[in-house]
Amino acid sequence: MRKNIILITALAMSLTACKSNHQETWMNHALDVASGQLKSTAEELTGTNMIPRSIHAGYDLNFLDSQLQREDKSYIDSLRPNPSAKQLKQKYICGIEDWTSGFFPGSLWYAYEMTGDEELKTRAIQYTNMLNPIRRLKNTHDVGFMINCSFGNALRLAPNDTIKAVITETADNLCARFNPEIGCIRSWDFGYWNFPVIIDNMMNLDLLFNASKLTGDSKYYDIAVKHAQTTMKNHFRPDYTSYHLVSYNNDGTIEKKQTHQGKNDESAWSRGQAWAVYGYTSCYRETKDAAFLQEATNIADMIMQRVKTEDCIPYWDYDAPAGEATPRDASAAAITASALFELSTFVPDGKKYFDYAETIIKNLSSDKYLAVKGNNQGFVLMHSTGSLPHGSEIDVPLNYADYYYLEALQKYKGLTE
């Protein structure tokens, strides 16, 4: 009997070792690829004042038509020009005022955090400092993404006295876009809408929560909470899918609801659903308001039910025609995984969220999505989609897919090690 118990224990121990060796293997490989890609890109772009965003890719009009299945062809007016033959497959770089500028420095911070590699830290500081002028940018809500992913991570990993001023100055500019009559922060200053608010704007609230903690001033917190409450009231359909955009009249009534980057106004644009579940998970973390937790779990359950791909990496829109040719959005998957790891710690039945997020990051770490080191123009993941109805960034790497993938890996490590 005693001999049997010893045998069973030994077997169990070797199975556990196998599992953790397996985890180490895929995780180490992912971190090796990510560190190599990020370091070579940082080196390549040093001195240019530019940030890597994506890869120039073209599109075929008939293909877009078959994805969108729209009677109304007016989307053709907003298509981005197809890249020139010389540009095709080249790296797409952007300036610091691009909405995605915070993600590359943020990825460097996460890679540094997980590897301890000092070269990554030096690069993270270099690319974070490049974004200092963004503290004065007033014409977009995206400053939350830009500054929180760069300086916000710097504050966690290499705090210094100047970071507080950058975060609070940026947060003041974001708050200046808040309209108390409407109860929301204005997203865009371009376009034909009266007061557009996009679901992505939920992602800018972490900057405000940080500013509140840094200054002790509750005004940032109060604005974040009001924005989240108004969005919860107006952005969601009864099935918990989110519109991309709600535009308000000046008295707070609704001007229109749309899905600007999705298949059509009533479709579930994949990244929008990911921003939503992430945003309400963050809001619950910061406020402990049960209404935000309920919203986050409702959205998470909807995502798990609606994503029909076998590997849980969604098509670019949940309502896109299912099939091999339909582009995926790895960025939506990575954002969802990061949110679901955190959400899994807030609820008693969190294991289902943890398991789903684990499936996503393991699949993103497979050859199908993870780059081969030295390829993919220095990006970590392949197969994301920026905005298909605009002919923009279809089936390409995106810097924010890399950022949220690394963030998800970091959370996974924190929960499993």
From the list 60, 77, 161, 200, the catalytic residue is 200
Q: How far apart (Å, rounded) are the C-alpha atoms in residues 351 and 305?
A: 16
**Two structure tokens written together for 181:** 């009559």
In the numeric block, the tokens 């965003």 are attached to 53
Contact 323, 316 (CB under 8 A): no
In the numeric block, the tokens 């659903």 are attached to 273
**Which residues, 6+ apart, have CB-to-CB distance to 138 below 8 Å?**
173, 176, 177
Q: How far apart (Å, rounded) are the C-alpha atoms in residues 311 and 314?
A: 8
- Closer residue to ligand GLY, CB minimum distance, 91 or 141: 141
Active-site annotation holds for 200: yes
Nearest approach, Cβ of residue 278 and ligand GLY (Å): 11
Nearest approach, Cβ of residue 271 and ligand GLY (Å): 5
- Closer residue to ligand GLY, CB minimum distance, 281 or 344: 281
Contact 35, 115 (CB under 8 A): yes
Site string for ligand GLY, 173-212 (x = CB under 6 A): ---------------------------x------------
Nearest approach, Cβ of residue 250 and ligand GLY (Å): 25
Closest by CA to 240, choosing from 168, 153, 300, 163, is 300
Site string for ligand GLY, 43-82 (x = CB under 6 A): ----------------------------------------
Q: How far apart (Å, rounded) are the C-alpha atoms in residues 318 and 345?
A: 26
Nearest approach, Cβ of residue 246 and ligand GLY (Å): 15
For the segment 225-264, give every residue that binds ligand GLY (CB under 6 A). Answer: 261
- Decide: is 271 part of the binding site for ligand GLY (CB under 6 A): yes
Q: Which residue is nearest to ligand GLY (CB)?
A: 200
- Closer residue to ligand GLY, CB minimum distance, 35 or 336: 336
- Closer residue to ligand GLY, CB minimum distance, 102 or 386: 386
Site string for ligand GLY, 380-409 (x = CB under 6 A): ------x-----------------------
Contact 273, 318 (CB under 8 A): yes
Q: How far apart (Å, rounded) are the C-alpha atoms in residues 139 and 137?
A: 6
- Closer residue to ligand GLY, CB minimum distance, 180 or 190: 190
From the list 142, 206, 319, 395, the catalytic residue is 142
Nearest approach, Cβ of residue 315 and ligand GLY (Å): 15
Nearest approach, Cβ of residue 203 and ligand GLY (Å): 8
Closest by CA to 350, choosing from 415, 256, 264, 269, is 415
For the segment 76-115, give every residue that binds ligand GLY (CB under 6 A). Answer: 99
Active-site annotation holds for 142: yes
DSSP characters over 102-169: THHHHHHHHHHHHH--HHHHHHHHHHHHTTGGGGG--S-TTHHHHHIIIIIHHHHHS--HHHHHHHHH
3-state secondary structure of 223: helix
E strands in 301-402: 384-387, 392-396
DSSP characters over 353-375: HHHHHHHHHHHHTSTTTBPPTT-
How big is the site for ligand GLY, counted in residues (CB under 6 A)? 5
Closest by CA to 111, choosing from 415, 402, 414, is 402
- Closer residue to ligand GLY, CB minimum distance, 201 or 365: 201
Site string for ligand GLY, 126-165 (x = CB under 6 A): ----------------------------------------
- Closer residue to ligand GLY, CB minimum distance, 227 or 271: 271
Which residues are tagged catalytic?
142, 200
Note the residues at the interface with ligand GLY (CB under 6 A).
99, 200, 261, 271, 386
